[in-house]
Amino acid sequence: SQTIHQWPATLVQPVGSPLSLECTVEGTSNPNLYWYRQAAGRGLQLLFYSVGIGQISSEVPQNLSASRPQDRQFILSSKKLLLSDSGFYLCAWSKTGIHTEAFFGQGTRLTVV
């Protein structure tokens, strides 16, 4: 069966510090991968998605970047965090194909102080 791992579960970082959130998927190959953010009291916002190694599409210009160094690994990064980067970050994957539901990780709650 397929599983998605996302860590850490919670993170408190000072303003100006770097960020690296990692997500890995097991039990499948060539998944589509996604990073979402949910600010407090807000809906889910798609940040990045990837359809293959090294292929990253950005939905919203911002202080963040994403990379996919391996088929089942997706990394969200920032060189210098802002207060506005606080939120609940979710990684998700879906199969390639026309009828594909997305499976989400448990999320990382990031607080920038």
Partner 1 sequence: DAKTTQPTSMDCAEGRAANLPCNHSTISGNEYVYWYRQIHSQGPQYIIHGLKNNETNEMASLIITEDRKSSTLILPHATLRDTAVYYCIVRVANSGGSNYKLTFGKGTLLTVNP
**Where do contacts with partner 1 occur on this chain (CB under 8 A)?**
32, 34, 36, 42-46, 49, 51, 57, 59, 88, 90, 92, 94, 96-107, 109
For residues 113 and 98, give the distance between their C-alpha atoms in angstroms, rounded to a whole number: 42
Output 15 or 39, the one with its CB closest to partner 1.
Answer: 39
Please state, as a whole number, how many other Cβ atoms lie within 10 Å of the Cβ of residue 89.
23
Minimum distance from residue 18 beta carbon to partner 1 (Å):
24
Minimum distance from residue 31 beta carbon to partner 1 (Å):
10
Beta-bridge partner residues of 50: 33
Beta-bridge partner residues of 46: 36
Output 12 or 15, the one with its CB closest to partner 1.
Answer: 12
Minimum distance from residue 64 beta carbon to partner 1 (Å):
16
Cβ-contact 98, 51 below 8 angstroms? no
